[in-house]
Amino acid sequence: MKLFIGLYCSFIIGLALYLRQDSALAQSMERGKEVYADFCITCHMAEGEGVAYTFPPLAASDFVNNKRTESLHAIKFGLQGEITVNGETYNGNMAPMGLEDEEIADVMNYIGHSWGNALEKMVTPEEVATLKK
Ligand code: HEC
């Protein structure tokens, strides 16, 4: 019986933690959507499709999905020089936008779970804070 209660409690606690992380992600994405509309949409476009040869796509981007740290670094400190996104080469310049760590986490959670992207773990402001220029 003790074992049963123990198992039952762990299940409930596990479920609660899972749901909490889920709604934290949904809230972060909601905020990130606004950051995206304010700061990113002009270049990367409404559905993250980008502009051919000029602004790389964020939609189904192998860069966003496989280069989590580089993507966060790019959003925080800017990015220039040659990169390859989905087999296409870009050599442009994205200036840093002066966003707070929390806004960077939010916008990355938004793009990382939109348009065919699937980031494994939720991004937190703490993770963004560890990035060095
Ligand atoms: C002025 C245009 C511009 C704006 C605004 C802009 N970007 Fe970019 N972004 C670029 C360019 C150009 C590159 C490629 C830079 C290079 O070639 O090295 C890029 C690259 C990226 C990349 C890595 C490549 C990819 O396509 O996956 C990510 C991630 C990214 N941007 C996210 C964002 C986010 C999030 C915002 C808003 C907070 C944003 N960008 C705002 C122009 C812009």
pLDDT in tens, the chain (133 residues): 777 878 887 887 788 877 777 899 999 999 999 999 999 999 999 999 999 999 999 999 999 999 999 999 999 999 999 999 999 999 999 999 999 999 999 999 999 999 999 999 999 999 999 999 9
35 Cα nearest atom in ligand 1 = 38
Q: Label residue 48 left, alpha or beta by phi (over 0 means left) and psi (-120 to 50 means alpha).
A: left
- Residue 128: CB within 6 Å of ligand 1? no
Compute the Cα dihedral for 73, 65, 48, 23 and give only its sign: negative
Residue 111 Cα, ligand 1 centroid: separation in angstroms? 11
- Residue 104: CB within 6 Å of ligand 1? no
> Which tokens belong to 82?
């040659």
Give the count of alpha carbons within 13 A of 69, CB side only: 5
Would you say 111 and 39 are in contact if contact means Cβ atoms under 8 Å apart? no
Residue 55 Cα, ligand 1 centroid: separation in angstroms? 7
